[in-house]
Amino acid sequence: MSLLDKRFETPYNTAPFSKIKTEDFLPAFVRAIKNAKIEIGLIVDSKDTPSFKNTIEALDYAGEQLDRISSIFFNLNAAETNESIQEIAQEVSPLLTEFSNDVALNATLFERVKLVYNSRETLSLSKEQSTLLDKKYKGFSRNGANLNKEQKETLRAIDKEQSKLKLSFGENILAETNRYELVITNLSDLDGLPEGAIEAAKQTAEEKDKKGWLITLDYPSYVPFMTHAKNRVLRKELALAFGKKGFQNDGLDNQEIVLKIAKLRFKRAQLLGYETHAHFVLEERMAKTPTNVRNFLEDLLEKALPAAKKEFKELEAFAQEKDGIGSLEKWDSAYYSEKLKQERFNFDDEQLKPYFKLENVIEGAFKVAHKLFGLSFMKTQDIDTYHKEVMTYKVVDLKQNIVSVFYADFFPRQGKRNGAWMTSFKPQYIKNGIQERPHVSIVCNFTKPTSTKPSLLSFNEVTTLFHEFGHALHGMLANTTYPSLSGTNVCWDFVELPSQIMENWCYEKEALALFATHYETGDNIPMELIDKIKAASTFQQGMQTLRQLSFGLLDMSWHGTDPSTITNVKQYEKAAFKQTQLFPDVEQNCMSTAFSHIFQGGYSSGYYSYKWAEVLDADAFEYFKENNLFDPKIANDFKEYILSKGGTEDPLELYIKFRGQKPKAGALLRRSGLIN
């Protein structure tokens, strides 16, 4: 027995990270799986007539401790991993997949679920209960319950192999990111870099016992160098290293893994009676079909492509005029775009950074949440964390009721994967009349403080923080009965609405006035800079939109067709990118082999959802702007219909309840400057 086997005797039942030993996890998983099987067995063996309560509801609450252990372990594997954790992950993932399949393919259990489902018209179910029943039934039918014995075994084998391949994919990318180092010993090679970036590079070198300055593939190191470094040769070297992650024909190569995952997903979809993996996935999304997704992407492409081509020609001409660059390459994009933006709007991101001290931006997000949703965030030292940099907060409402526990983890580390994400250590739900509140976390990789400066965020990092905080609000404000419908357990093309809408407040004077103050003088950000932020917000939106569309189309290309005959990942990717290509192709680079969103995360057949949700968020934010940025009624409706309902109702119906109408793309096109 270990701490992981029971409810934690800690403040708010939070995870006692410092007391959990890595070696505790594997035996705890084995015991939790055994206990979950017993819980499932009680449902299966019940002599009572199947009912919503003794079958559907019981099933949703089953395996509570297993879910808790899983959330703690796999969050550590993403944010604070090591070889031991990765080895356990490789061992545990097949066990979890096998257990999941044991449940999904249990014929007796499915019969009980089916009996309840078939009698649903005679039951007096609430909207949430009806949704849960529908999801449970589909959870079985979409995971092989209607297959014969031989087909079920095939499905099990596919799922087990996929779980290990996805882990290997992510481990390879993390290892690639960690092993690359650009050591600079000549100060002139850092020409153009802001003082803060140079100081951070020096600090990184010192931390790794290197002389000079160290540039890595972590975003806070990589992005400033690609944006500001004058040395084109080094920009190229860094860009090539970034672009060939998982594509070097060595022990960390992901090409074979990509092909295997794509083919296994297709095989699984066919086994279940679907045309492709995308058809399987999209059946449970707002978009419904691959045709709808492709039409959506192609429609936006038609509007964005002319603007993108015009912007690209402007950038080419600018680089030619400035430095005689004959052919604009990918490693020139960020550098000359930043220079052009500086010239056109007479400002750069470095002017903004002093006004975006991390601690102030965090407080700003909290203040916006307070004005909109009545939340207060109280920093606490009583909650255990998995790393000393992680900050913890108790979140309360206007009546001082506990709403959530909130964790925030902001800086890059050796054992932490790149990017930014929101996750949870414990979901919200109601069981036996007791309201269980969620434990929510955001994890980012922001610019670290140095010996002379605090963490000063780029504007992109500011919007990233607000984005992930929007996801966190979705988790915090959940108010449903069942864990599987709570918080961010919604359609994947709806989940980005709460996150993306929060980014909008970063561009507004009323919101910036709450937190954008100079870290040394305390002066508010000048109105002139706010005007420039807004003016620059449509800069190169054609190219930015095209880039996002290209990722969505690549995703659909991998998952919306039969991949059985694909043998060359790079060639296939080149063909998928052809209609959105602006820059010359780089033969040494491949995106698919590091496209973690679709090959490791949950975005397969779903990358389009970023743009889909942009339509929703632009339309929703326009509603605020037509009235008031902090309009209490609109904010309350957003909280009531979008943030608190989770997956209990159809997302389009929820959106219409909030907005009073279906979403329209016009607001996004206007915001992007693609139409007037």
CATH number at residue 405: 1.10.1370.40
Residue 79 pLDDT level (bands cut at 50, 70, 90): very high
Question: Helix crossing, 219-228 with 195-207: angle to 10°?
Answer: 140
| Domain-embedded: residue 227 | yes
Mean pLDDT confidence for 173-180 = 95
Number of domains in the chain: 3
Q: What is the 3 state secondary structure string of 175-232?
A: HHHHHCCEEECCHHHHCCCCHHHHHHHHHHHHHCCCCCEEECCCHHHHHHHHHHCCCH
> What per-residue confidence (pLDDT) applies to 470?
98
Question: Pairing state of beta strands 182-184 and 213-215?
Answer: antiparallel
User: 20 and 101 share a domain?
Assistant: yes
| Domain-embedded: residue 584 | no
Please work out, in degrees rounded to the nearest 5, the angle formed at the alpha carbon of residue 443 by the alpha carbons of 439 and 444: 155
- pLDDT tens for 462-503 read 999 999 999 999 999 999 999 999 999 999 889 999 999 999
- pLDDT tens for 153-169 read 999 999 999 999 999 99
Q: Are 355 and 363 in contact (CB under 8 A)?
A: no
The one catalytic residue among 468, 508, 573, 622:
468
- pLDDT tens for 601-644 read 889 999 999 999 999 999 999 999 999 999 999 999 999 999 99
Residue 387 pLDDT level (bands cut at 50, 70, 90): very high
Instruction: Specify the CATH number for the domain of residue 142.
Output: 1.20.1050.40
Q: Which of 485, 513, 537 is the last residue of a domain?
A: 537
User: 388 and 454 share a domain?
Assistant: yes
The whole-angstrom separation of Cα 483 and Cα 489 is: 9
Q: Which of 537, 556, 580 is the last residue of a domain?
A: 537
514 pLDDT exceeds 80?
yes
Domain residues for the domain of 388 are: 354-537
Average pLDDT over the chain reads 96
Is 468 catalytic? The answer is yes
| CA-based nearest residue to 144, from 278, 266, 273 | 273
Please work out, in degrees rounded to the nearest 5, the angle formed at the alpha carbon of residue 12 by the alpha carbons of 11 and 17: 65
Tokens of 111: 């019969």
| Domain-embedded: residue 423 | yes
User: 362 and 414 share a domain?
Assistant: yes
Q: Which of 521, 537, 553 is the last residue of a domain?
A: 537
Residue 23: phi and psi, rounded to 5, are -70, -10
| Domain-embedded: residue 252 | no
| Domain-embedded: residue 510 | yes
> What per-residue confidence (pLDDT) applies to 605?
97
Residues whose CB is less than 8 angstroms from the CB of residue 369 and which lie 6 or more positions away in sequence, other chains included: 375, 377, 469, 473
Please work out, in degrees rounded to the nearest 5, the angle formed at the alpha carbon of residue 97 by the alpha carbons of 92 and 100: 125
| Domain-embedded: residue 316 | no
User: 469 and 524 share a domain?
Assistant: yes
Residues whose CB is less than 8 angstroms from the CB of residue 59 and which lie 6 or more positions away in sequence, other chains included: 40, 43, 109, 113, 136
Q: Are 240 and 182 in contact (CB under 8 A)?
A: no
User: 504 and 373 share a domain?
Assistant: yes
Please work out, in degrees rounded to the nearest 5, the angle formed at the alpha carbon of residue 416 by the alpha carbons of 78 and 503: 85
- The DSSP result for 436-487, as a single string, is EPPEEEEE--PPPP-SS---B--HHHHHHHHHHHHHHHHHHT---SSGGGST
- CB atoms < 10 A from the CB of 660, how many? 9
pTM comes to: 0.88
The whole-angstrom separation of Cα 595 and Cα 611 is: 17
